[in-house]
Amino acid sequence: MLQRLGIEVTEVRLPKDLEGLDAVIMPGGESTTFAKLAVRFGLMEPLRSFVNQGKATWGTCAGLIFLSKDIGRDQPTLGLMDIRVKRNAFGRQIDSFTAGLQIDSIEGPPFPGVFIRAPIIEQVAGNVEVLCTLDDGTIVAARQGNMFVTSFHPELTDDTRVHEYFVALAESCRPKAA
């Protein structure tokens, strides 16, 4: 999706892979596995310091969980974003669904939100801005400064609008040349 927007991308697996990057995406997957691997490969502190430098960071689904301060259970997370999260809030894999979403700052028709064993944001604190809720008020996207999270998977659609939003965020977080 980013390449379609003309953005150069690389995979981050080890701390040295973060060098020189403007932004990072913590993808979907399985947050318990992320935590194990990030601890084992020494990525926790390098990722925290990357985010704390104010560089744009997007967590989708498991990535959202990984950025959160409170997930209500004992599982390592980066613990950076002032949100309380509930994992697997819609049920199991078979309960996956797509919903048309209105997302703040994203114009045009409803965005196709793909939810796969998705978490929800139960509570936000500090200066967290809610960007999207389902019809029943459930929070599924939010931003806190340079951190952006979605409980759905924009990369599984053909719609690049959320990626465009993130690229604009990354531009705005980039240190200005003196």
Distance CA(115)–CA(25), nearest Å, equals 17
- Decide if residue 31 touches ligand GLN (CB under 6 A): yes
Closer to ligand GLN by Cβ: residue 22 or 79: 79
Tell which one of 49, 52, 53, 88 touches ligand GLN (CB under 6 A): 88
Q: Which two tokens stand for residue 144?
A: 């806190």
State yes or no: is 173 an active-site residue: no
Helix, strand, coil: what percent of the chain each, to 5? 30, 25, 45
Among 7, 89, 116, 130, binds ligand GLN (CB under 6 A): 116
State which amino acid sits at residue 69.
K
Catalytic residue among 122, 155, 164, 173: 155
DSSP count for the chain of H helices, then E strands: 4, 10
Measured CA to CA, the distance from residue 108 to residue 135 in angstroms comes to 18
Do 47 and 38 touch, CB atoms closer than 8 A? Answer: yes
Contact track, ligand GLN, 128-157, x by CB under 6 A: ------------------------------
Query: CA 166, CA 146: separation in Å to the nearest integer?
Result: 10
CA–CA gap between residue 66 and residue 50 (Å, rounded) = 14
Site for ligand GLN contains 29 (CB under 6 A): yes
Cβ of residue 150: shortest distance to ligand GLN, in angstroms?
10
Residue appearing with tokens 């104010």? 54
**x/- site string to ligand GLN, residues 66 to 85, per CB under 6 A?**
--------------------
Among 44, 62, 128, 140, binds ligand GLN (CB under 6 A): 62
Question: How near is the Cβ of 31 to ligand GLN at its closest, in Å?
Answer: 3
Residues of the shown chain interacting with ligand GLN in the complex, contacts defined by CB under 6 A: 28-31, 61-62, 65, 87-88, 116-117
